[in-house]
Amino acid sequence: MRRMVAILSFFAVLGCSIVPVPATPAKTLEELLKEQVQRSGARQSLVGVAVLGNSGRALALLNADRPLKPASNMKILTTVTGLELLGADHQYSTRIIARGELAKGKISGDVIVRGTGDPNISGRFHDGDPLFLFRQWAKKLKQAGLNEISGNLVADDSYFDQVRFLPGWNPKDREKWYSAQVSPLSLNDNCIEIRVVPGSVGKSARVELSPASSFVTSSGAPSTVSGKKVTVIASRSIEGNKIVMKGRIGSSAGAWSGSLAIDDPALFFVHTLASVLKKEGVKLGGDIVRLGAADVPGGGSDAARTVSAGERILVEHNSRLKDDIPVINKRSQNLHAELLLKATGRKIAGEGSVAGGGRAVSKAFAGFGVKTRGLVVADGSGLSHDNRVTARQVVSLLHGVRSRDYYQVFKDSLPVAGIDGTLKKRFASRKTLVGKVFAKTGYISGVSALSGYVQKGKTVWSFSILCNSFPAKSLSRAKKLQEDIVNILYSSMP
């Protein structure tokens, strides 16, 4: 009996001293994101992720310091640099300048058309009419009494270098709108719009080009067949602007529309302007020529942008940078990003080139206290596979912008999940994120990226996701990974 009591007493004491097994600690945000990358099947070393909290504290860093291809996330660097160094109210100017006096309706010398990279001389803000501004300028010249230019009409594109199609771009894409050549004189996004209207069965279709220009010619036409099937082929010569049209279009198919990037934008600009001037009754006695940097007083320096002795401004048109930032980011317009990069390089580094723009980007990085190690600026749009940037660099810029007076301009320029821009059809299965994610998308072959902000109430986190490991056919997997990561971020926010 005494033995039984002793045993019971022993177990009683033992029971009182048992310590409960601690619960498994909650996983960190970084661990959750790492697991999500693993589940996606991506090559983990080629996925860079960086997340900064509302105060700027690093919340998650995965390969955050590995330089990766950003695709169109490069536009974040370009637009932030432009806003930071030029200012949201920076003005692109385009001038028509006379060398000589206007007397008795005639200018005896040359008339120069001088550009500084305005991206919006087009129909974008003018009901789709690409020649709206040209007609306005022609009317001003007529109102000033101009009837004849006896000299040449000169295209001054010396504000930028003469590298119009960048080395890192695919030569096979020369005709594509997203590879449009870069020039300080740009018209209609440096593209020609093509419209094919079917005729009667057996007859050739009607081909219409816009804007109409003597600098662009068209030959051939698709044949009209019965039905609705359309196989229209439009191609442009590598050099020059000879467009050849082939194919078939169904008589009941309706009109077909497409576009081709043109060659030599500055001359396209001035030839088209000359056609409009002629229609408005302004005669041109000389030729249409180009004025290069070597022909500009001061060798094309910024001092040459001012009107020199013997010159007189006939027309001046300006447009603001802030109006074009949404075109670059929401619509992911490559040409506009390239124009901004070169314009910033010209203004800040004295060189309207990609190299000058790269130096401007580095200066902007320094202003935000962001290191430039591993950074490679090969263009402003992200079309080149030679660009390199780290997720930490991108997210540091995104967070740094929040302290600037142009933050709202920049944030408003980003696509909004499920609402507009290149995110309009994204996050369809994540209804709680619609309207809560403001981010720039990016895609080139083998690369997909998403960087921006996720917001819950007054809390804003900055993030950058650079995926360089998905083959082209697996783009949907890359997008899903990005959306899964952003969903984890949103769920983890206070």
Give residue limits of the domains in the chain. 29-88+322-492, 91-321
Calculate mean pLDDT across residues 321-342: 98
Report the alpha-carbon distance of residue 290 to residue 368 in Å, rounded. Answer: 40
Q: What angle do CA 454, 493, 22 make, to 5 degrees?
A: 150
Per-residue pLDDT band for 441 (boundaries 50, 70, 90) equals very high
Q: What is the pLDDT of residue 18?
A: 53
3-state secondary structure (DSSP) of residue 275: helix
- Give 332's pLDDT tier (boundaries 50, 70, 90): very high
- Tell me: pLDDT of 297 over 90: no
- Looking at residue 240, its pLDDT comes to 87
d(Cα 298, Cα 309) in Å, to the nearest integer? 13
Confidence of residue 295 (pLDDT cuts 50, 70, 90): low
Contact 337, 75 (CB under 8 A): yes
Strand pairing partners for 290?
155
Q: List pLDDT tens digits, range 131-185.
A: 999 999 999 999 999 999 999 999 999 999 999 999 999 999 999 999 999 999 9
Angstrom distances, CA of residue 95 to CA of 28, 98, 117:
58, 10, 11
More confident residue, 333 or 297: 333
More confident residue, 65 or 469: 65
Peptide bond into 211 cis (omega under 30): yes
Q: Average the pLDDT over 383-399 and give the result.
A: 98
Q: Per-residue pLDDT for 424 more than 50?
A: yes
DSSP string, 396-442: HHHHHHTTSTTHHHHHHHS-BTTTSGGGTTS-TT-GGGTTTEEEEEE
The pLDDT tens digits of the residues spanning 198-217 come to: 999 999 999 999 999 999 99
Residues 226, 250 contacting (CB under 8 angstroms): yes
The pairing of strands 288-291 and 283-284 is unpaired
Q: Which helix (H) or strand (E) covers residue 491, if one does?
A: helix 475-492
State both tokens at 280: 């408005």
Question: How far is 465 from 46, CA to CA, in rounded Å?
Answer: 11
Any idea which architecture 29-88+322-492 has in CATH?
A: 3-Layer(aba) Sandwich (3.40)
End-to-end CA distance of the chain: 61
List pLDDT tens digits, range 254-271.
999 999 999 999 999 999
Q: At what angle do helices 475-492 and 29-40 cross, to 10 degrees?
A: 160
> Residue 493: what pLDDT?
97
- Bigger pLDDT: 223 or 1? 223
Does pLDDT of 472 surpass 90? no
Fold observed for domain 91-321: D-tyrosyl-trna(Tyr) Deacylase; Chain: A; (3.50.80)
d(CA 490, CA 467): 20
Q: What's the confidence (pLDDT) of residue 220?
A: 97
How many angstroms separate the CA atoms of 455 and 433, rounded? 9
As a whole number, mean pLDDT of residues 336-357 equals 98
Average pLDDT over residues 112-129: 96
Of the CA atoms within 13 Å of residue 262, those in its CB half-sphere come to 31
Tell which residue, 209, 268, 270, 211, has the closest CA to residue 234: 209
Q: Running DSSP on this structure, what letter comes out for residue 188?
A: G
Q: What is the pLDDT of residue 473?
A: 77
Edge-to-edge strand list for the sheet holding 148-149? 102-103, 106-107, 148-149, 283-284
Nearest by Cα to 315 from 188, 133, 187, 151: 133
pLDDT mean over 382-394? 98
**Quick one: pLDDT at residue 26?**
85
- Of 360 and 300, the one with more pLDDT: 360
| CA distances to 165, 170, 173, 381 from 180, in Å | 8, 12, 9, 11
Residue 305 confidence class, pLDDT cut points 50, 70, 90 = low
Query: Looking at the whole model, is its pTM more than 0.95?
Result: no
Q: State both tokens at 423.
A: 């995110």
* pLDDT value of residue 474: 84
Mean pLDDT along residues 78-90? 98
pLDDT score, position 353? 98
Sign of CA dihedral 292, 293, 299, 304: positive
- What number is the average pLDDT over the span 307-312? 78
Q: Is the peptide bond before 471 cis (omega within 30 degrees of 0)?
A: no
The pLDDT of 370-388, averaged and rounded, is: 98
